[in-house]
C-alpha cells in the first residue's frame, strides 16, 4: 500500500487556452438561463438532471394515481381500454427511463467527481450533450399525449401488439423513437463516467479505496454500455417493421415475435440492476457515516455488486418462463436467478454488520437507508419466490409480480434515492433539510408505501392479472384494491411533503457548513455548495474513507500547493445537437405516412446536428485560468 | 448483550410479520374464484406446494434477518443526549462472511430440488396417463378463446368443457398477438405465441366451473378476455359432447326464422353456425350458443337483455373488439335485434 501513498502528481503543463470557437462566439454568461443551457459544470448538470427526474417522477406518479382511481372499484369507467393502456405504459416507461435513471444520473454527475477528487468529469461537453439529449427523448415520449395518443404497448412493448398490423396509430413510434434517443443519452453518459472513474481519480485513490457509490456507479455504467446495444437493435428492428414494412417480428411473413422478448430482456434485466445498484451505493455511503463505523466487508460489497451486475446478463429468460422455452431452459434460468440471491444476501448481511456495534444516528437520510434495506429485502424474498419457476407459472403477470418489483424499485431504489437526496442536499444547497418535516415525510412514505404495495401480494395471490383496466366484482379483488387506491394517495402525499421540505429548507434551512454529518468521503472536505472548481488543492488519498481517516488522525487533506485551475469554456453546441436530434427524431416518427415532408425535416435536423458536431470539434476547450485563492468561498 | 432485549426484539419483529401473515390469510382474502392458493387439480397443487415451500424458507430468513436488523437498530441507536462517540472500528470478518455465503447457497439448493421436480411434473402428462388424456387446442384471439377438440371433432369458444379426473393436454396457439392461457385453480399459465405451439396440461379433481383469464397483455380489451373451464363427470361430458357434435337446431318460431334471415345478412361473415350457410371463422362459433353461460368472452351473463345490448353496442360493451356492424353493412331495428336474440337463444 505504501507505494500508492507516495504518488504525488505534479500538474502538467497548463492547457493552451483555445481560440474563440471557429463557428461563432462562445457563451460567456455566468448566470441566467443561458449559463444553465450551455453549462459544462458537472454540478449544474447534476442539478438539472435531478430537477428533470423529480418532475417526471411527479408525472409518473400522477399517471399511477389515475390508474389507481380506475382500479379502486370493480367495473369502473374512469379510464377504459386504450386510454388505461396508455396510462400504464407511460407510467412504467416514465418512472424507469425519465424518473429513476436520470435521478441516479443526477447523483453520478454531482457526487462522483467530488468523491474522487476531480475537477469535473472526463468529457464535460459530452456530459451536457447527454443531459440535453435526455431532455429531447423525454419530450418525444411525452409529446405523444398531445399528438394523437401515448404509447400503449406496455413498457416491454412486446410485438405483435406493437407491430403495425395491430397498432396503427403513432403511439408505438413515439415510444420507439423516445427510447432510441434516451439510449444515446445513456450510452454517452456511461462512457463519460466510465472514463472519469478510471482516469480522473485523485492521486492515491486506488480502485479499492474508491467510495462504494463510485464503485456502484462504475458497475452501473458498464451495465448501461453492455445492455443498451441489444435494446437499440430491437428498437431499430421494430422501427423497420413499423416504418418500412420489414418483417422482423411479423410471424405471417416469417418473422419471430419471441425474438423481441429475448432482445428486450437481455437489456431489461440488467436495466433492473442499473436502477438498483446506484441506490445500493448510496446506502453504502450513508450507513457507515450514520453508524460512525467503516463499511463492514467493503471488498465483499464491491465484489458482490460486480457479481450482481455480471449475473444480470445471465437471467433474462426468467421474465419468459411461460413463453414456451421448454422445461430445461426454464430450469437453467431458474437456477441462475436464484444464484443472484447470494451476492444480494451478502450485501444485506454486510449492511447489518456495518450497523452492528455502531452508534446509530437515526436521522432522515439514515431512516431512508434503513427503509431501503428492509423494503429491498422483502422484495428480494418475493424475488426468490419468483425464481422457483414452478411457482412462477402461477405468479407470472399477476399483481404478485407488481408487488415484487415495486418493493424493489420504490421501497428499494426510490427509498435509496430519497436517502441520497436527504444526505447530499446540504452539499448541493448549503442548507440542511428540516428534520421535523423530513421525519413526517419519511413516516408518511414508509406507511403509505407498505399500505400501497403489500396488499398487492394478496391481490396477486387471489389471481388478479396485471395490465387489466377492469375486474369483476365477484373475484375477491374488491377490498384490497380500494385499500391500495386510498393508500396510493398517502404515498403521493409523502412526496409532496418531501418536495415542500426541499423548498422550505432552501429558504430557511440551517446552514450546513462543509461537513454536517461528520462524513467519510472527499466531497465533505470542501464547502457547501462546492466552488465551481471543486478542489482548490488536489487531495492525496492514503486510505479508504480518506477524509474520515484524516479527521481522526488530525492530518491535513492535501500537502500540495494551490495552483491555477483551468476552467473550460461553456458551449452552445451540445444543446444545438440535441435540438437537431429532436427535430430529426420527431420527423422520422411520421415517415410511414408523410414520407417526403418528414424526410425533408429529418434531413434539416440532421444537418443541424452535423453543423454542431463540427462546431464542437473545432471550438477547443476554451475557458480561463482561475486562481482559487482569490475566489470567495475557496477551501483552505 | 442482553438476552431479554433479543427476546423483545424477536417478539416485536415476529408480531409485525405475524400481522402480514394474518392479512394474507384473512378469511375470504385468498379463496376467490381465481386464487391460486386453492388448488383443484394435481398441476396447480404441485405449483402451490413449491410456492409455499419458498414462502416458508423466505419467512424463516425474514424472521431471522429481520430480528437481527430490528434488534441492531434498537440496541445501537444513539441515545438522546449522549455524545456521538466513535464506536469500536471493525472492517469485517472473513469467517462470518463465508459462513453466511455457504448458508445461503444451501438454502438455494433446498429450494432448487422441489422446484426442479415440480417443473418436470407440470411440464407434460405423466407417461402412464398419456392414453387417457383429452387433447384440446386453445387458440387465443383478440379477445376470446377458440377451443378445438381435434380427436373429438368439436369446436367451441370461451367455455371449455372437460371431464373430471382426466388429464387435459392443451396445445396453445395464437391467431394474432400474444395471449396467455391461465386457469389459476387448475394450472399455471402458458403463453400463446404466434407461430409457436406451446403445451401444458392440467386436470380437474372435482366437477365445477373454473375461472380463467388471459394474462399476457393483448390490447384494448385484455381485461375483457376471460373464459370458463366447465369440469363435468363423464356422463355429463358425453352428453355435452353428443349435443356439440350435432348441427345447429333449426329455427322453430317465426321470430327465430326472421332472426336467422337477419343473421345471414351479415353476422355469417364472421360467425359459424353449423348446418347453415354461416361459415365465418373470424368470431366465435355460435352453433350451440344458447348453451353458453357468458357473453363477450366471459364478461357478461348470457341473458336476453345483455345479448340485445351486445348486438346493438358491441364497442361500448367491449372496447376495440372486432364486431363492427357497419363493416358488414348491418343496420338493425329493435325488432331485428329481438329476432336475433330469439334465434341465438334457440341454438341449444
Categorize the per-residue pLDDT at A620 as very low, low, confident or very high, splitting at 50, 70 and 90.
Answer: confident
Q: Is the pLDDT of residue B1 over 70?
A: no
- B146 touching A (Cβ < 8 Å): no
Q: What is the DSSP string of A143-181?
A: HGGGTT----STTTT-TTTTSTTT--SSHHHHHHHHHHH
What would the mean pLDDT of A603-626 be, rounded to a whole number? 89
What would the mean pLDDT of B177-190 be, rounded to a whole number? 97
Whole-number Å distance between alpha carbons of A615 and A129: 13
- B102 touching A (Cβ < 8 Å): no
**B84: nearest CB among A324, A331, A361:** A361
pLDDT tens figures, A490-523: 999 999 999 999 999 999 999 999 999 999 999 9
CATH number for the domain formed by residue range(s) B254-345: 2.60.40.420
pLDDT tens figures, B51-85: 999 999 998 998 899 999 989 998 898 876 666 67
Chain A residues closer than 8 Å to B68 by CB = 352
List the single residue in A with minimal CA-CA distance to B25.
A458
Which of A157-171, B21-35, B39-53 comes out lowest in average pLDDT? B21-35
B127-245 has which fold? Answer: Immunoglobulin-like (2.60.40)
Beta-strand pair B226-232/B294-295: unpaired
Beta-strand pair B226-232/B159-163: parallel
What is the least distance, in Å, from the CA of B2 to any CA of chain A?
14
Record the pTM: 0.93
What would the mean pLDDT of B321-335 be, rounded to a whole number? 86
pLDDT at A11: 47
What is the least distance, in Å, from the CA of A566 to any CA of chain B?
39
pLDDT at A449: 95
Mean pLDDT of chain A: 92
pLDDT at A632: 47
pLDDT at A517: 94
Domain definitions of chain B by residue range: 3-21+32-75+95-123, 127-245, 254-345
pLDDT at A391: 95
What would the mean pLDDT of A190-214 be, rounded to a whole number? 96
Whole-number Å distance between alpha carbons of A388 and A400: 14
What is the least distance, in Å, from the CA of A296 to any CA of chain B?
5
- B340 touching A (Cβ < 8 Å): no
pLDDT at B27: 67
Residue pairs between chains A and B whose CB atoms are closer than 8 Å: 284
Instruction: Tell me if A345 and B46 make a contact (CB, 8 A cut-off).
Output: no
Instruction: Tell me if A166 and B222 make a contact (CB, 8 A cut-off).
Output: no
Instruction: Tell me if B87 and A293 make a contact (CB, 8 A cut-off).
Output: yes
Instruction: Tell me if B176 and A166 make a contact (CB, 8 A cut-off).
Output: yes
Structure letter (DSSP) for residue A360: B
List the single residue in B with minimal CA-CA distance to A164.
B177
Residue A269: phi, psi to the nearest 5? -75, -45
- Element of type H or E holding A124: helix A124-143
What would the mean pLDDT of A537-551 be, rounded to a whole number? 90
- B17 touching A (Cβ < 8 Å): no
Counting residues of chain A whose pLDDT is more than 90, the rounded percentage is 86
Which one of A78, A390, A447, A461 would you mutate to disrupt binding with B, by most B Cβ within 10 Å of its Cβ?
A390
pLDDT at B89: 82
User: Positive or negative CA dihedral for B222, B225, B226, B232?
Assistant: negative
The more confident residue out of B3 and B38 is B38
Chain A residues closer than 8 Å to B16 by CB = none
Which one of B59, B66, B91, B297 would you mutate to disrupt binding with A, by most A Cβ within 10 Å of its Cβ?
B91
Whole-number Å distance between alpha carbons of B103 and B110: 11
What would the mean pLDDT of A380-409 be, rounded to a whole number? 96
Whole-number Å distance between alpha carbons of A36 and A249: 43
Whole-number Å distance between alpha carbons of B14 and A470: 36
Categorize the per-residue pLDDT at A596 as very low, low, confident or very high, splitting at 50, 70 and 90.
Answer: very high
Whole-number Å distance between alpha carbons of A631 and A191: 32
A6-571+619-626 has which fold? Answer: Cytochrome C Oxidase; Chain A (1.20.210)
Instruction: Tell me if B73 and A362 make a contact (CB, 8 A cut-off).
Output: yes
**A300: nearest CB among B44, B92, B120:** B92
**B36: nearest CB among A352, A373, A394:** A394
Mean pLDDT of chain B: 90
What is the least distance, in Å, from the CA of A397 to any CA of chain B?
6
User: What angle, 0 to 180 degrees and rounded to 10, lies between the N-to-C axes of helices A42-71 and A101-115?
Assistant: 150
Amino acid at each position: 500500500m505504501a507505494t500508492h501513498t507516495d504518488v504525488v502528481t505534479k500538474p502538467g503543463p497548463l492547457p493552451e487556452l483555445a481560440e474563440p470557437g471557429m463557428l461563432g462566439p462562445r457563451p460567456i454568461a455566468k448566470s441566467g438561463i443561458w449559463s444553465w443551457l450551455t453549462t459544462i459544470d458537472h454540478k449544474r448538470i447534476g442539478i438539472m438532471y435531478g430537477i428533470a427526474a423529480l418532475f417526471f417522477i411527479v408525472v409518473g406518479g400522477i399517471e399511477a394515481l389515475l390508474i389507481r382511481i380506475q382500479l379502486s372499484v370493480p367495473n369502473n369507467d374512469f379510464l377504459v381500454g386504450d386510454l388505461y393502456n396508455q396510462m400504464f405504459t407511460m407510467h412504467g416507461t416514465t418512472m424507469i427511463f425519465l424518473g429513476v435513471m436520470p435521478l441516479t444520473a443526477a447523483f453520478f454527475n454531482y457526487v462522483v467527481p467530488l468523491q474522487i477528487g476531480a475537477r469535473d468529469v472526463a468529457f464535460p461537453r459530452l456530459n451536457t450533450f447527454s443531459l440535453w439529449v435526455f431532455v429531447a427523448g423525454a419530450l418525444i415520449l411525452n409529446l405523444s399525449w398531445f399528438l394523437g395518443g401515448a404509447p400503449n404497448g406496455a413498457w416491454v412493448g412486446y410485438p405483435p401488439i406493437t407491430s403495425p398490423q395491430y397498432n396503427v396509430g403513432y403511439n408505438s413510434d413515439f415510444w420507439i423513437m423516445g427510447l432510441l434517443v434516451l439510449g444515446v443519452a445513456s450510452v454517452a453518459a456511461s462512457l463519460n463516467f466510465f472514463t472519469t472513474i478510471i482516469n480522473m481519480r485523485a492521486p492515491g485513490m486506488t480502485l479499492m479505496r474508491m467510495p462504494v457509490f463510485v464503485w456502484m456507479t462504475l458497475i452501473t455504467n458498464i451495465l448501461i454500455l453492455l445492455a443498451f446495444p441489444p435494446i437499440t437493435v430491437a428498437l431499430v428492428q421494430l422501427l423497420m417493421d413499423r416504418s418500412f414494412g420489414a418483417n422482423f417480428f411479423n410471424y405471417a411473413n416469417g418473422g419471430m415475435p419471441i425474438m423481441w422478448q429475448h432482445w428486450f430482456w437481455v437489456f431489461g434485466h440488467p436495466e433492473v440492476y442499473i436502477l438498483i445498484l446506484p441506490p445500493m451505493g448510496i446506502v453504502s455511503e450513508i450507513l457507515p457515516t450514520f453508524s460512525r463505523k467503516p463499511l463492514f466487508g467493503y471488498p465483499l460489497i464491491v465484489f458482490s455488486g460486480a457479481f450482481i451486475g455480471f449475473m444480470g446478463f445471465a437471467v433474462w429468460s426468467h421474465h419468459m418462463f411461460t413463453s414456451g422455452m421448454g422445461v430445461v431452459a426454464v430450469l437453467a434460468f431458474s437456477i441462475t436467478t436464484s444464484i443472484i440471491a447470494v451476492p444480494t444476501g451478502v450485501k444485506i448481511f454486510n449492511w447489518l454488520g456495518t450497523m452492528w456495534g455502531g452508534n446509530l444516528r437515526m436521522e432522515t437520510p439514515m431512516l431512508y437507508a434503513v427503509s431501503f434495506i428492509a423494503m429491498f429485502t422483502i422484495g428480494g424474498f418475493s424475488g426468490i419466490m419468483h425464481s422457483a419457476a414452478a411457482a412462477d407459472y402461477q405468479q407470472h403477470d399477476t399483481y404478485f409480480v407488481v408487488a415484487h418489483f415495486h418493493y424493489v424499485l420504490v421501497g428499494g431504489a426510490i427509498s435509496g434515492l430519497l436517502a441520497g437526496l436527504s444526505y447530499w442536499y446540504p452539499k448541493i444547497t448549503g442548507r440542511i433539510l428540516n428534520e421535523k418535516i423530513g421525519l413526517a415525510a419519511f413516516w408518511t412514505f414508509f406507511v403509505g408505501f407498505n399500505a400501497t404495495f403489500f396488499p398487492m401480494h394478496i391481490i396477486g395471490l387471489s389471481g388478479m392479472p396485471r395490465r387489466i383496466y377492469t375486474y369483476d366484482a365477484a373475484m375477491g379483488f374488491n377490498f384490497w384494491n380500494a385499500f391500495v387506491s386510498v393508500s396510493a394517495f398517502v404515498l403521493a402525499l409523502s412526496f409532496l411533503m418531501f418536495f415542500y421540505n426541499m423548498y422550505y429548507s432552501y429558504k430557511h434551512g440551517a446552514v450546513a457548513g462543509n461537513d454536517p454529518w461528520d462524513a467519510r468521503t472527499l466531497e465533505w472536505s470542501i464547502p457547501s455548495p462546492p466552488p465551481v472548481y471543486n478542489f482548490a488543492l488536489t487531495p492525496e488519498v492514503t486510505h479508504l474513507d480518506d477524509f474520515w481517516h484524516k479527521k481522526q488522525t488530525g492530518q491535513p487533506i492535501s500537502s500540495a500547493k494551490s495552483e491555477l485551475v483551468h476552467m473550460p469554456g461553456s458551449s452552445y453546441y451540445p444543446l444545438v445537437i440535441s435540438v437537431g436530434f429532436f427535430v430529426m427524431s420527431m420527423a422520422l416518427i411520421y415517415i410511414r405516412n408523410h414520407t417526403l415532408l418528414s424526410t425533408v425535416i429529418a434531413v434539416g435536423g440532421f444537418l443541424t446536428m452535423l453543423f454542431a458536431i463540427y462546431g464542437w470539434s473545432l471550438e477547443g476547450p476554451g475557458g480561463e485560468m482561475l486562481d482559487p485563492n482569490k475566489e470567495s468561498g475557496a477551501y483552505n | 448483550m442482553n438476552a431479554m432485549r433479543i427476546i423483545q426484539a424477536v417478539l416485536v419483529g415476529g408480531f409485525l410479520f405475524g400481522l402480514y401473515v394474518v392479512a394474507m390469510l384473512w378469511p375470504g382474502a385468498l379463496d376467490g374464484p381465481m386464487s391460486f392458493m386453492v388448488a383443484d387439480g394435481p398441476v396447480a397443487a404441485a405449483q402451490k406446494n413449491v410456492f409455499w415451500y419458498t414462502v416458508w424458507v423466505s419467512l424463516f430468513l425474514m424472521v431471522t434477518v429481520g430480528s437481527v436488523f430490528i434488534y441492531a437498530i434498537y440496541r445501537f441507536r444513539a441515545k438522546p443526549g449522549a455524545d456521538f462517540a466513535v464506536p469500536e472500528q471493525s472492517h469485517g470478518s472473513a469467517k462470518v462472511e463465508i459462513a453466511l455465503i455457504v448458508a445461503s447457497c444451501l438454502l438455494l439448493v433446498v429450494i432448487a430440488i422441489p422446484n426442479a421436480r415440480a417443473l418436470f411434473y407440470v411440464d407434460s402428462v405423466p407417461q402412464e396417463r398419456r392414453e387417457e388424456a383429452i387433447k384440446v387446442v386453445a387458440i387465443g384471439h383478440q379477445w376470446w378463446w377458440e377451443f378445438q377438440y381435434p380427436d373429438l371433432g368439436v369446436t367451441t369458444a370461451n367455455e371449455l368443457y372437460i371431464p373430471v379426473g382426466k388429464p387435459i393436454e392443451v396445445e396453445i396457439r395464437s391467431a394474432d398477438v400474444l395471449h396467455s392461457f391461465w386457469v389459476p385453480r387448475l394450472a399455471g399459465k402458458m403463453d400463446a405465441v404466434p407461430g409457436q405451439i406451446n403445451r401444458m396440461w392440467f386436470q380437474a379433481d372435482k366437477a365445477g366451473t373454473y375461472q380463467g383469464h388471459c394474462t399476457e397483455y393483448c390490447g384494448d380489451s385484455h381485461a375483457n378476455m376471460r373464459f370458463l373451464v366447465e369440469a363435468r363427470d363423464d356422463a355429463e361430458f358425453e352428453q355435452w359432447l353428443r349435443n356439440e357434435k350435432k348441427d345447429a337446431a333449426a329455427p322453430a318460431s317465426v321470430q327465430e326464422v326472421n332472426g336467422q334471415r337477419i343473421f345471414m345478412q351479415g353476422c355469417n361473415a364472421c360467425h359459424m353456425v353449423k348446418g347453415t350457410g354461416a361459415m365465418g371463422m373470424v368470431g366465435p362459433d355460435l352453433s350451440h350458443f344458447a348453451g353458453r353461460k357468458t357473453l363477450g368472452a366471459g364478461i357478461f351473463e348470457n341473458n336476453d337483455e345483455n345479448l340485445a345490448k351486445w348486438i346493438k353496442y358491441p364497442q361500448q360493451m367491449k372496447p376495440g373488439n372486432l364486431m363492427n356492424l357497419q363493416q358488414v353493412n348491418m343496420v338493425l331495428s329493435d325488432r331485428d335485434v329481438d329476432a336475433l336474440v330469439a334465434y341465438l337463444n334457440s341454438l341449444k
